[in-house]
Amino acid sequence: MRATAKAHTNIALIKYWGKRDEQLILPMNNSLSVTLDGFFTETTVHFRDDLETDSFTLNGEEVSGVPFERVTKFLDLFRDYTGKTDLFAKVESINHVPTAAGFASSASGFAALAAAAAKALDLNLSEKELSIFTRQGSGSACRSVYGGFVEWEKGEREDGSDSYAVQIAPQDHWDIRVAAVILTAKEKDVPSRAGMKLTVDTSVFYDGWLKSIDQDLRDIKAGILAKDFEKVGSIAEANCLKMHATTLGAAPPFTYWQDTTLGVMHEVWQLRKDRIPAYFTIDAGPNVKVLYLPEDEEKILARLRSVKGVEDIIVSKVGAGISYK
């Protein structure tokens, strides 16, 4: 009853921003991401009859408090599913995501945890079923079940049985690159969970956000299939700007951007004025991810490195889905 799984993180090109059910983690809108090969988590789950509680280590250190509660609550889903309500596990995770740089590791973390738990219990889940489990740990994680380009279908049902991710195009479909630009951060972020709730509850711009999603999704999927970089990049960047605009319309208003974030955004706009195709996207934090094509890598990295406040840049290719050891 022991298994090890590896999952990569992903970056949304069409953002998941807002829940219709907090408990089951059901989203207000479909989202679409690309899985990244540069960031991943490897997790071993060992269910043992002699344990009286779960335990969780991350990079060799015992985890307690809220992060531990999230893991043990997540394992409850598997205990309920199998009816083995007094079976506990030893969970060991290694994060190959620079957490010091403030990168969310919950996507790769919950995808690897779900996959390892399901395998340890010999559940033989389909990818769809695994995605449904994973979603309940962290929404964006359900997209990390697959490699390549992935859409999370929000679903309609109240029980969440039709809210899961599907692959739009495989890892080898298209070689685009994502530079994760790590900035010197001054303030602590509003966690994505709290930020999206405040936005849904109070933002005067939230309806406008929701109304724009269908068109963005239709266009970006066509762009991905046609490998039209300008189309995909411009839709992703505009979608990110719309998501971040909703936070400015919240009460109280807030933003994830810092002066250094704006510095990178302006550099990307300048790159395009100089006819070098690059587009950005930003999650619930100050760091910026820049999308570009392999042939422009050298020029783009040099320009990004010159921006004030850039601490580090980590380059990813399109990544793979879940794998097992």
Minimum gap (Å) between residue 3 Cβ and ligand DP6: 23
Sign of the CA dihedral 299, 305, 308, 309?
positive
Minimum gap (Å) between residue 152 Cβ and ligand DP6: 8
Using alpha carbons, select from 255, 10, 38, 287 the residue that is nearest to residue 139. Answer: 10
Contact between 97 and 105 under an 8 Å Cβ cutoff? The reply is: yes
One symbol per residue from 43 to 82: x for binding ligand DP6 (CB under 6 A), - otherwise; what is it?
----------------------------------------
* Nearer Cβ to ligand DP6 (91/104): 104
Identify the three-state secondary structure at position 33: strand
One symbol per residue from 17 to 36: x for binding ligand DP6 (CB under 6 A), - otherwise; what is it?
--------x-----x-----
Q: For the chain, report the end-to-end CA distance as a whole number of angstroms.
A: 14
Contact between 35 and 168 under an 8 Å Cβ cutoff? The reply is: no
15 lines the binding site for ligand DP6 (CB under 6 A) = yes
CA distance 173 to 223: 12
Name the amino acid, one letter, at 240: C
CA distance 138 to 142: 7
Which residues inside 146-205 make contact with ligand DP6, applying CB under 6 A? 192-193
145 lines the binding site for ligand DP6 (CB under 6 A) = no
Task: Work out which of 12, 45, 115, 217 binds ligand DP6, going by CB under 6 A.
Answer: 12
Burial of 219 (0-12, 13-18, 19+ CB in 10 A): middle
Using alpha carbons, select from 77, 93, 173 the residue that is nearest to residue 125. Answer: 77
Binding residue count for ligand DP6, defined by CB under 6 A: 14
Minimum gap (Å) between residue 274 Cβ and ligand DP6: 29
One symbol per residue from 105 to 144: x for binding ligand DP6 (CB under 6 A), - otherwise; what is it?
-x-------------------------------xxx----
Token pair in block for residue 200:
């849904």
* Nearer Cβ to ligand DP6 (16/279): 16
* Nearer Cβ to ligand DP6 (31/163): 31
Query: Phi, psi at residue 264, to the nearest 5°?
Result: -70, -40
Contact residues: ligand DP6, CB under 6 A: 12, 15-16, 25, 31, 104, 106, 138-140, 192-193, 283-284
